[in-house]
Chain A
Amino acid sequence: MNVLFPEEAVHYEGPMSKFRMTADSGNTVERGFCPTCGAQMYSRTVEPTGLPMRVRAGTLDNPDLIAPSAIIWAESAPAWAKLDPDLPHHPAGPPAHLANKTS
């Protein structure tokens, strides 16, 4: 569950472990997590540049504030996953207009 913000709008305090990988999208992404508890804090696309930062909803003080508005990579979901039928489902990564959406 991710909430998208422009990268410059998000500030973290405290030590952050960072892990870079090639995501299923083919993009190079950096995942930040707490070195003490492992909680994932964000995912950020390193290459290509300019995409919004994905803040992990579970780390927000009030996850009720923002509900998901789209489901991506739906084809990778396990068969038992219950996906909200009222949301748009994208089988793989988000279409460009969503990927770049920061509000």
Chain B
Amino acid sequence: MSTNYTGRCTCSSISISIVGEPIATRQCWCRQCQQLALGGPSNNAIFKAEEVQIQGTLASSSWAAASGNTLTFHFCPSCGTQIYAQSSARPHLKTVRFGAIDEPHGLSPSVAIWTEEAPAWAIINPALEQWPQQPPAPPPSK
């Protein structure tokens, strides 16, 4: 399969190569994402785990996500750029951060989730499907 997307962190210690297309793209406003995403939402593309190849040494941390699952998120230890996250409920998927994917990638979020935790000043595209909390799980990998 050919590479559809490439990516890297701010300092280029980490590089990403992705075959296949995302099964979903989401914008997440949960408070934890706001902490990682500098106060805005995280914007994410969810791929089958085996389609995402990472080069370089990542650091990781995990927390009990607002959904109740354990979310492990991986970042560059040199510059702190968040690269991808993985949920204990869906180990067959990798949630790649838009900011780490090379432009122009042509992806855009199609759903906004955890909107009830967004700050009052947040601008959320009204054209997006919106969920106040966690949406239903994406379909299982085939």
Contacts and interface: CB of A to CB of B under 8 A. Distances in A.
B10 A21 contact: yes
A39 interface: yes
Nearest to B81: A38
B interface bracket (residues with beta carbon within 8 Å of A): 20 to 34
B127 to A, nearest CB: 9
A interface bracket (residues with beta carbon within 8 Å of B): 20 to 34
B11 A1 contact: no
Given A19-B80, A67-B120, A39 B59 contact: no
Contact of A83 (B73, B77, B119, B123): B123
A57 B39 CA distance: 5
B125 to A, nearest CB: 4
Interface of A: 1-2, 17, 19, 21, 31, 33-40, 56-60, 63-64, 67-68, 78-80, 82-84
Given A37-B63, A64-B119, A78-B108, 20 more contacts: A1-B38, A1-B39, A2-B39, A19-B10, A19-B78, A19-B80, A33-B80, A37-B73, A38-B59, A38-B73, A38-B76, A38-B80, A39-B35, A57-B34, A57-B119, A58-B37, A58-B39, A63-B119, A78-B103, A80-B109
